[in-house]
Structure 1
Amino acid sequence: MFDSRIPAPFHAGEQRAQHLAGGGPPGAPIRSQLPDQHRHFFPLLPFLCVAVADDSGWPLATLVHGEPGFATSPDPGTLDIAALPDPDDPARAMLAAGADIGLLGIDLATRRRNRANGTLARVDGHGLSVKVHQSFGNCPRYIHVRQLAPAARQPGPVEMFGTTLPAAAVSLVAACETMFVATSSGAAPKRAVRGLDISHRGGPAGFLRLDGHVLTVPDYPGNHYFNTLGNLLLEPRAALVMVDFASGDILQLQGTAQVAWQPPGPEGDALAERSWTFTIARGWLRHSAFPLELRGQV
């Protein structure tokens, strides 16, 4: 029977992060293709989280959406997505065959989440096809449970900004309970694991602390893979995306990150084992761009 587990899945940055954090996982079922449960999971979802890179290699984080079934896996090495980022999404122009891509499928109602990283095999007007290089699940902790349903929205204007956030963006960050972060393992030659990754971060409203254009993000106990923090050790440029589920506003940010490996002080988040700062370089606030709305909380 074919075993798709990758024998040594962690690159040098992840290994270094695991060392700095006091140890890695006892095991890492990271596979080179999608297992059947992931192939059955992605078609259930109405949206996916996506990491791409701009022309300079700086990650961009975004969301794509469609009717459940818009993401399908015709074979274990492929994930087809019958959707594209919206035309006014800065990530749209960065999609090209051969480019790296990171994907996260997350079901907020059940707290299931699975990741797939790879390269774009095809991009056309109908969507894209991903050649999968890595596939793995994540624990459900810190996912704020929500029931989402389709919403009739009329997309509004896009506010582009630099280091000064508009008031609506500041309010969205303050209320945020669900965020996604895109990182890259960099462009080092012969790296063991290539490409882009996008991961979930969650907590109660206020868990993200914004001071001017610097965002502090607590790092809670998890699976000890340290994919995000390991990437940041190799490539500090990163990107964030978060949603106001009431208005449908999507906030996308690019910035540089720095990890503080020591535990937060007495005034910090008691649950956090460490934290990282994200210094915002630029952003986009896309009004009424997310076509799902909140229909209750569990």
Structure 2
Amino acid sequence: MFHEGELATQERAGVRLEAARLAGMLGPGGLSRGAGGWLAERTLAVLAGRDRAGRLWTSALTGPPGFLDGAGQRLRVDAAFAPGDPLHDLPAGQRVGLIAIDFATRRRMRVNGTLSVDEAGRDGLTVEVAEAFGNCPQYIWPRRLTGTTAAAAAPVFAPLPALTPADAAMVAAADTFFLGTAHPARGADASHRGGPRGFLRVDGGDLWWPDYPGNNMFNSLGNLATDPSAALFVPDFGTGRTLHLSGTATVEWTEAGTGAADEVTGRRVRFHPTAVVTGEYPALVAVAG
């Protein structure tokens, strides 16, 4: 069932009827055998959650096929966030959002639920699944991950006071990022955003992007209507460098077709970062195709 922010955003966009046809995707449910099998083949997942200070972040988890092990109401993640990652040692008991993606086949699946720390300690995570659903392949650029997931190539991270010129250039060249948003009761959600290089813009101290046409459910924009907390995870697949941003975001409504050439919906999202962490993540190196 859609929450109040999603319904309000659908209403303003004039797509309530179209969205209602998809409402069944969001009903309570676990992982089917097919979903569990697909997840078991993945090597990358991105999770959105809050750190111990309550700040929302989005970051990556990687591993060999099988590191995601899901069935029914349980998804085991045989990986943990490395020291320095903004989600390292994230508190259990919170509602998190996870998205698994296969760039090569342009498929993705979102899993939302409650996080518990596995009995083995910090070697992995377990999500008690509340809902799991797929998304269409729109805006996913085909690529193949070639980086190593070996412990010897563990990611390293560094906090920064603000975006540097190199960070801004990385943002301007990105064709993919992951967005974390949250609802006060339902918790965090992770989603994928893709477009031509340059679709994610730097504007002074802010970032913004046009909201492209999608499935009309408005999970992310609906969350922002209830809670402005937002987090961006921007990977550079050529080098393995990553940019993690936490802050707030608002949806700006304009008249469709009056802005840039790619602003066809009359919606853009403006993000104001308040915390920045950069990373070197060898497992995220990829090649096109």
TM-score by length of 1: 0.88
Whether the 8 Å contact between 1:58 and 1:238 is mirrored in structure 2 is: no
**One-letter code aligned to 2:260:** G
Give the number of aligned pairs: 279
Q: Give yes or no for the alignment of 1:87 onto 2:83.
A: yes
Question: What does residue 157 of structure 2 align with?
Answer: 158
In the superposition, relative to structure 1, how do residues 282 and 264 fare at CA in structure 2: closer, same or farther (>3 Å)?
Answer: farther
Residues in 1 aligned to 2:217 and 2:89: alpha-carbon distance in whole angstroms = 31
Q: Percent identity?
A: 38
Give the CA deviation at 1:54.
2.5
1:115 and 2:110 aligned: yes
Q: Deviations over 1:225-245 (max 9, x none)?
A: 100000001100110001111
String of CA shifts for 1:166-202, please: whole Å, max 9, x gaps.
1221121011111000010025xxxxxx111000010
1:1-298 alignment to 2 at 5 Å?
Answer: 9-24=1-16, 25=19, 26-28=21-23, 29-31=25-27, 32-73=29-70, 75-96=71-92, 98-123=93-118, 124-151=121-148, 154=153, 158-162=157-161, 164-187=162-185, 194-263=186-255, 266-270=258-262, 272-273=264-265, 274-286=267-279, 288-295=280-287, 297-298=288-289
Aligned pair in 2 of structure 1 residues 240, 14: CA closer, same or farther (>3 Å)? same
Instruction: Verify the 8 A CA contact 1:264 1:275 in the aligned structure 2.
Output: no
Do the aligned partners of 1:243 and 1:290 also contact (CA within 8 Å) in 2? no
Instruction: Give the deviation of 1:87 after TM superposition.
Output: 1.2
Pick closer, same or farther for the CA change 1:154–1:68 going to 2, 3 Å. Answer: closer
1:290–1:241 Cα change, 3 Å: farther
Q: Counterpart of 1:241 in structure 2: which amino acid?
A: F
CA shift digits 1:134-187 (9 cap, x unpaired): 11111110011111123488567633223x311221121011111000010025
Task: Write out per-residue CA displacement over residues 31-65 of structure 1, whole angstroms, 9 at most, x where no aligned residue.
Answer: 42112221111111111000111345332100011
TM-score calculated relative to the size of structure 2 = 0.91
Decide whether the 8 Å contact of 1:21 with 1:261 is kept in 2. Answer: no
How far apart are the structure 1 equivalents of 2:55 and 2:84? 18
Q: Which runs of 5+ in 2 are unaligned?
A: none
Task: Summarize the Cα distance change of 1:195–1:168 in structure 2 as closer, same or farther, 3 Å threshold.
Answer: same
Q: Within 2, Cα distance between the matches of 1:64 and 1:87?
A: 13
Partner amino acid for 1:174? A
The letter of the residue matching 1:84 is: A
